[in-house]
Chain A
């Protein structure tokens, strides 16, 4: 069951007033323009025990993603394809407003939206990750730990997943005497495209990219759009109780494609230089 709930973060009214005044003059309280995203910093291979990993900073939002690869049975209906499982946890270290415990609906939505963007883009060619068709496949876990929250977890987590996947080295498993063995060798992951998630929020009648916590506390609606390397849209998710007009959605989509291109260039640059050995 999903309930509408009280906001946990209350922005001071005088601050909110300033924010609206500032946005209407084309500038945000942190000096960014409305369609400006925060600086992205990515450090790859931070978890040596993982097959691939990335520590992503999007402004003050920080996410660590790590990949673990096992073998297992394929999902029903997807007998000839490897499994990809993306999870996210907003750790209680990340903000004063997080209670330890099983993931709430927001965290589950987060993991699912990030998963959808990566899965629907077919970034990882899962059909190449099959050991015994219909029986044994590679099971790829990408687990995300959010360690500091300052808004836009959707995009930050997505960048962490994409950077970790694109830079990882998968283990090579083989079947010997009907048993799966880890050969100790590694292989390049079958990457086909770089999906990029771009989130836009609406505050009053204004559209802002990459919101921070304070802006999220004032937003009416949110739209996350993931595009692939060809510039096509592969996944979307609208959130919150506000709405968008048709024209707004069209302009958000155009922006997500052009901004996605810029961010893709940043991700590619980092991945190119920092692949796991």
Chain B
């Protein structure tokens, strides 16, 4: 197996020397690859990158996000997606092509303060992101506990192929909707299960960079021992689990996971 070298870095630190490919959160200067964020640097023969531990959510097309309706104009809703740009949800997305501000009452569909789960349909940095709620399991979220975590911890919370979040959902009998922007809604029948899930999510957030995290979460949630052994024996460093490779890869993967999670749900 290819060896991955890891270390803790702050901006300006050298991640690796030599002819490696700079991946994410690094830049090349001379023969060195330098970190631009606080986080865990990883390098192997494919290249060098930093998994950041702080920072806001920067939108990407196809990401699933959870947003809050701020207001609406006659043609679109303005949505807070916990990012440096407010997003827009066009009225046509809900009313269809023949939407007319004169006949259709936007307030009847979504009003200020409503929470939605949406997909970023278009974002190219030159304009604010455009959302859609026209896919399966997207739309207004009527109930649930809303929590906010650092968007940098979202991949760890989801885990490899959704492993971490599935453990939490199953053990706490809850349904967890995760936005790539760090907004999460936990819903379920009993308060105890919800609190258990929220507690587990916060532990993942704080301890995202530490080893054997899955195991500790399983212990917290009282998942039987036998399952622990099956899973993690080979890995001492679980950052492996989360392949934070390239932008597109992540968002596609999460898309699938979101779909999967939601179809497990009780909607």
Chain A positions within 8 Å of B, measured between CB atoms, are: 10-18
Contact = CB atoms under 8 A, between A and B. Distances in A.
Contacts of A12: 68, 113-115, 146
B70 A14 contact: no
B112 A14 contact: no
Contacts, number: 26
What does DSSP make chain A's interface, helix, strand, loop or mixed? helix
B187 to A, nearest CB: 10
B114 A13 contact: yes
Nearest to B114: A13
B115 A13 contact: yes
B145 A10 contact: no
A29 B144 CA distance: 13
Given A10-B68, A10-B70, A16 B113 contact: yes
Contacts of B141: 14
Contact of B143 (A10, A11, A14): A14
A18 B70 CA distance: 19
A14 B68 CA distance: 10
A67 B208 CA distance: 44
A60 to B, nearest CB: 14
Contacts of B80: 10
A16 B145 CA distance: 11
Contacts of B111: 13
B113 A11 contact: yes
Contacts of B142: 14
Contacts of A14: 115, 141-144, 146, 185
A12 B117 CA distance: 13
Contacts of A18: 145
A14 B69 CA distance: 12
A10 B114 CA distance: 10
A31 B80 CA distance: 27
Nearest to A6: B71
A61 B113 CA distance: 24
A16 B143 CA distance: 11
11 contacts: A10-B70, A10-B80, A10-B112, A10-B113, A12-B115, A14-B146, A14-B185, A15-B146, A16-B113, A17-B143, A18-B145
A17 B68 CA distance: 15
Contacts of A11: 113
B215 to A, nearest CB: 30
Nearest to A13: B113
A39 to B, nearest CB: 20
A18 B144 CA distance: 9
Interface string B187-220: 0000000000000000000000000000000000
Interface string B122-148: 000000000000000000011111100
Nearest to A17: B143
A11 B111 CA distance: 12
Interface string B215-229: 000000000000000
B217 to A, nearest CB: 24
B199 to A, nearest CB: 14
Given A12-B68, A12-B115, A14-B146, 6 more contacts: A12-B113, A12-B146, A14-B115, A14-B143, A14-B144, A18-B145
Contacts of B113: 10-13, 16
A11 B113 CA distance: 6
A235 B216 CA distance: 54
Interface in B20-79: 68, 70
Contacts of A15: 146
A11 B112 CA distance: 9
B112, B113, B146 interface centre (most CB from chain A within 10 Å): B113
Nearest to B110: A13
A16 B112 CA distance: 12
Contacts of B146: 12, 14-15
A10 B111 CA distance: 11
Nearest to A7: B112
Nearest to B67: A12
B93 to A, nearest CB: 20
A12 B114 CA distance: 6
Nearest to A29: B145
Nearest to B141: A14
Contacts of A16: 113
A12 to B, nearest CB: 5
B181 to A, nearest CB: 14
